[in-house]
């Protein structure tokens, strides 16, 4: 016969704790992360995403030259997707009881990526590829940090990382197309 594992939570105690700690919102007693540290980290992620929105938007407007229309369209798509990431991160900060920091005065200081304009279309593509590579490495590190301590934040970052890797690949493909040489080694 199968041994039935008892239900792990005393439902009465669960209900009592939920009522006693209602002011903590979504953060329950078994949250294993440090809430303030998580909020601080996510403020940096938020700033990174905002800087990416601004950079891609500026590039979408400023890109010029032959065959720039398709690149501008790609920059626009990426700007919208980075804005979605920005909103997800801001919502998570709010869920944890923090106030998302959108202060433009400190954005570039808090961001992992830089705001670089680029002198021409190829430079813009390179700057975006560099920023995406920074984001990918940063998010991979954070995913490992959050691991099982905060699975909700980890999963959010995993979904953002998936899109950032796609963005890096798109920028690499554009760079190859506009420089006329493959950058990745053939395997």
- The mean-pLDDT minimum among 26-30, 48-52, 159-163, 180-184 falls in 26-30
In a domain, 165, yes or no: yes
Could you give the angle at the alpha carbon of 172 between the alpha carbons of 167 and 173, nearest 5°?
A: 100
**CB-based contacts of 168: which residues, under 8 Å, 6+ apart?**
129, 132, 133, 136
**CB-based contacts of 102: which residues, under 8 Å, 6+ apart?**
46, 50, 90
pTM (2 d.p.): 0.84
Between residues 34 and 184, which one has the greater pLDDT?
Answer: 34
The confidence score (pLDDT) of residue 67 equals 78
Q: Which domain holds residue 102?
A: 35-179
CATH number where 153 lies: 1.20.1260.10
Arithmetic mean of pLDDT, 28-51? 87
Tokens read off for 14: 């669960």
Q: How far apart are CA 76 and CA 86, in angstroms?
A: 15
In a domain, 109, yes or no: yes
Between residues 66 and 22, which one has the greater pLDDT?
Answer: 66
In a domain, 6, yes or no: no
Domain count, the chain: 1
Q: Report pLDDT digits (tens) over 153-178.
A: 999 999 999 999 999 999 999 999 88
In a domain, 27, yes or no: no
**CB-based contacts of 80: which residues, under 8 Å, 6+ apart?**
none
Q: Report pLDDT digits (tens) over 110-156.
A: 999 888 888 899 999 999 999 999 999 999 999 999 998 999 999 99
In a domain, 8, yes or no: no
In a domain, 149, yes or no: yes
In a domain, 28, yes or no: no
* In the predicted structure, residue 22 carries a pLDDT above the cut 60: no
The confidence score (pLDDT) of residue 117 equals 86
Give the other-Cβ count within 10 Å of 129's Cβ.
20
Q: Report pLDDT digits (tens) over 40-75.
A: 999 999 999 999 999 999 999 998 877 788 999 999
In a domain, 92, yes or no: yes
């Amino acid at each position: 016969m199968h041994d039935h594992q008892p239900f792990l939570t005393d439902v009465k105690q669960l209900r009592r704790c939920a009522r006693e700690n209602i002011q903590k919102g979504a953060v329950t007693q078994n949250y294993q992360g440090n809430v303030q540290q998580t909020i601080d980290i996510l403020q940096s992620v938020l700033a990174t995403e905002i800087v990416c929105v601004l950079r891609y938007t500026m590039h979408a407007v400023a890109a010029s030259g032959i065959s720039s229309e398709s690149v501008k369209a790609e920059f626009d798509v990426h700007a919208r997707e980075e804005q979605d990431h920005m909103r997800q991160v801001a919502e998570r900060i709010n869920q944890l009881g923090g106030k998302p920091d959108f202060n433009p005065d400190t954005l570039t200081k808090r961001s992992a990526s830089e705001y670089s304009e680029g002198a021409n279309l190829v430079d813009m593509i390179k700057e975006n590829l560099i920023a995406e590579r920074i984001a990918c490495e940063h998010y991979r590190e954070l995913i490992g940090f959050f691991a099982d301590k905060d699975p909700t934040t980890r999963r959010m970052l995993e979904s953002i990382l998936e899109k950032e890797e796609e963005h890096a690949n798109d920028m690499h493909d554009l760079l190859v197309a506009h420089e006329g040489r493959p950058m990745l080694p053939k395997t």
